[in-house]
Structure 1
């Protein structure tokens, strides 16, 4: 059999598909119907077995013309058939045993008093008592009863001391390891077992919490024991590593300064009403913790001679007597950015605060000791984080420390207008 049409492929290409006699006959007929230029004598005679009705390839068969309506009708019938099959499949699946995915139940928390958030007043009291008992038991079984750790300011009264005072084997913490170390877990378990045995049953003779309706778990006690361990480990690291000790001292000093600024702000807030009545303006705009002065007992320098000299200056300026040499004295260091008007507003508030304090002392007939303050005129140059009003800012300070520094200029935020009664308002 030969190819029907000449090929245009290359010599190395595979031969094209060949036609059967039936296909050959039909293709020739199609060709003759489209072209009348070929003489009949030049047409090849088809094979005797050729039949124009037999076509093996359905793509070569003539397709019947269908109207749009008939095509849409056939499509709708097909859709109806598919929907019926889907419903039958769903009915079969419903008749089968129903399989539902089980929701994984969340395990209840093993803790009840781990955090004070969300606890009622009675729970908070029981939590505090248990923490103290765990702490005291931890001291006892590790031989730390004579230690004066940093968090012992809440005291060890007789009611909080461990009830089991018999001779026992001293266990030791491994402060060089973590809470998950076997040595430390052994201590935690021992502490939790002792307190759990004494306090879990409100009807027992050893129960002393006072709130039988408040429940707790052994895991709570383990958590309290681990918290104590972390605190004692921090102290141990400060005692054994000088660099850690210096970092801890600086962090503690920073925390103390923040607390003193907050206390200073709270005292001045008490005098706001008196200030408004006297000066007819509201000073609340300057009462941000960030705007308060620092009150330090020693400079941040590591040099002991510098710190000792600063202490001598404070004692002398505070006029402490021979019996007061060890009393606390704080130096007041004001923000360098604040203007004269802002500084005067603070002084006026402080005068009203002192007046209120004196009146209160006369009423109660009691004089509360207060740490003396000394002002050597020193300032700090920290950039304020809170937004300033124009009257608050010292222009000479800004020109010296901020102007021309693109990075710092973007951190100093200033309102466009002063509040009523201040500055140019």
Structure 2
């Protein structure tokens, strides 16, 4: 029997810690329980009342856990035949494969091959690359016109040296489908045929069919496909304008806006050429008025469908330009000035135009070549009502009458129009 403490102890043995009264009582009760006094009867062992059996129904056995029953040979053969029929049905295509309905597998394979472009975009190309790009685009366009039943006359007239046989439709069995997109199977065939033809002729500088000016410039077949798709989209846009009246009107207005924007940019560029002489003559810098949106409009005819109105407008232009009988067949542009500009701003523009005209006359007298005739421009004292948003105006540019009539009292316009506090040196009150 083990003892709680050693029977003997030496002076160097560790001493037990002192116990409190409560600890001594607890130890005594434990000692009495472990070592009962002889002759005493131990207390009876407590009995546990058994719990009633749970009211649970007998569990349902999973048939899958039961021992497998022996299967007959005939049933096994029947199940194997059913599995074979199911596999054959899954492998069989649900619809016939043809050229117009390519399979998903082929489309997926084609999408994983990333295209390689070298000359698709003109940005960052060298002069030689730009030259080859222009040649290839012309070849692709010439070949693509063979598949265009519309025979784009406007395109053919702009390409000097285009193949005249484009109107013979040598590929009559295959033509563009403009009602579809570039992803249409028929159109894809044409793109591939054009790209394959030009690629086979021009990709090898040693070939007898090679005709590009810079053999060291590389290009890809994907470049040719991109050029062909660009031509298709251009022709499709024209086709939509010819077949849909509403689309045609929208396209005509958009084309007119683009022409007006191009003429304003050209007018600004020409006036900038006269700035050095203007600064030397008038001792002030007119670059403060050189904004494209502040240039005058130059229109050929009013925006109307009335032919009588257009004819009357042209008669007025010819009369104002004082054109003779031999000059009346050409174009005449009407100058429509911005409504907001002041008299001072208009005078600055007139001075620039006069300097520019003097420079042209001096250049014409020195040149032996015949100069290109300029389109006559006349003013019928009309102005447009576009609000000059964007670049901040200087006070000398704005007509007080126009501001009082169109801007003053309108909080929205007053907030949108930006105005500088003072005029630049040499203008207005400066």
Distance in 2, Cα, partners of 1:167 & 1:209: 24
Distance in 2, Cα, partners of 1:108 & 1:300: 47
CA contact (8 A) 1:133 1:162 kept: no
Counterpart secondary structure, 1:322: coil
Q: 1:395 to 1:168 in 2, by over 3 A?
A: closer
Which sections of structure 2, spanning at least 5 residues, go unmatched?
A: 1-18, 36-111
Q: 1:161 to 1:228 in 2, by over 3 A?
A: same
Give the alignment partner of residue 186 of structure 1, picking from 189, 195, 201. 189
Partner residue in 1 for 2:132: 126
C-alpha displacement of 1:168: 4.5
C-alpha displacement of 1:258: 1.0
Counterpart secondary structure, 1:334: strand
Q: Are 1:234 and 2:237 matched, yes or no?
A: yes
Distance in 2, Cα, partners of 1:360 & 1:310: 33
Distance in 1, Cα, partners of 2:34 & 2:319: 131
Distance in 2, Cα, partners of 1:212 & 1:162: 27
Which deviates the most, 406-415 or 223-232? Answer: 406-415
Structure 1 segment 10-409 matched on structure 2, within 5 A: 48-49=32-33, 110-143=116-149, 146-149=151-154, 151-152=155-156, 154-157=158-161, 168-365=171-368, 366-384=370-388, 385-409=390-414
C-alpha displacement of 1:312: 2.5
CA contact (8 A) 1:268 1:349 kept: yes
Distance in 2, Cα, partners of 1:280 & 1:193: 63
Which deviates the most, 319-328 or 282-291? Answer: 319-328
C-alpha displacement of 1:313: 1.9
Distance in 2, Cα, partners of 1:233 & 1:210: 31
Distance in 1, Cα, partners of 2:135 & 2:355: 41
C-alpha displacement of 1:157: 0.9
Q: How far does the alpha carbon of each residue in 1:174-199 deviate from its partner, in whole angstroms, 9 at most, with x for none? A: 11111101111111111111111111
> Size of the alignment, in residue pairs?
333
Distance in 2, Cα, partners of 1:388 & 1:310: 33
Counterpart secondary structure, 1:378: strand
Q: CA RMSD in A?
A: 2.9
Q: 1:31 to 1:386 in 2, by over 3 A?
A: farther
Q: How far does the alpha carbon of each residue in 1:278-299 deviate from its partner, in whole angstroms, 9 at most, with x for none? A: 2111111112112111111112
TM-score (norm 1): 0.72
CA contact (8 A) 1:293 1:335 kept: yes
Counterpart secondary structure, 1:177: coil
Which sections of structure 1, spanning at least 5 residues, go unmatched?
A: 1-28, 34-39, 52-105
